[in-house]
Amino acid sequence: MERQRLFGGRTGNDVLLLYNLRKCYGGFSKKNTAVENISLGIPRGECFGLLGTNGAGKSTTFKMLTGDIIPSAGRAVIRTPTGSEMDILSASSEGILIGYCPQQDALDELLTGWEHLYYYCTLRGIPKQNIH
């Protein structure tokens, strides 16, 4: 149903679009497919998550969206506030950043919420004057 909506072009309110996103690991002899052709659209203002068993590809999908790893195939597109579409791999160079909160080991209990945000912004190279 979602795939039909997406490929049918009914994505007017979506800001994040994934088209047959795929990630494979491994060398010449054996390939392990972590994410197999995920396609979906996320509407503006929506908070979303992915559910699945261990090894289903949830973290790998989010790492592709944040630019931490490059997809093996497919594409992810961000629709900007002006309505133009931009490949997710070039989004950070345009000042568009995506983040996510992983299930485990994401937060240090000794840091406040603000300190966590500051820390991760610094890791991503966001200038101090832009962190507020």
Domains and CATH numbers, the chain: 2-98 (3.40.50.300), 101-132 (no CATH)
Per residue in 18-55, pLDDT tens?
Answer: 999 999 998 777 889 999 999 999 998 888 889 999 88
How many Å is the Cα radius of gyration of the chain?
Answer: 16
Distance CA 56, CA 72 (A): 16
Distance CA 103, CA 17 (A): 23
Per residue in 60-114, pLDDT tens?
Answer: 999 999 888 999 999 999 998 888 889 988 887 777 777 777 767 667 889 888 8
**Whether the Cβ atoms of residue 5 and residue 17 lie closer than 8 Å to each other:** no
Q: Which of 42-79 are b and which e, b meaning 16 or more Cβ less than 10 Å from the residue's Cβ?
A: beeeeeeeeeeeeeebbbbbbbbbbbebebeebebbbb
With 80 as the cut, is the pLDDT of residue 132 above it?
no
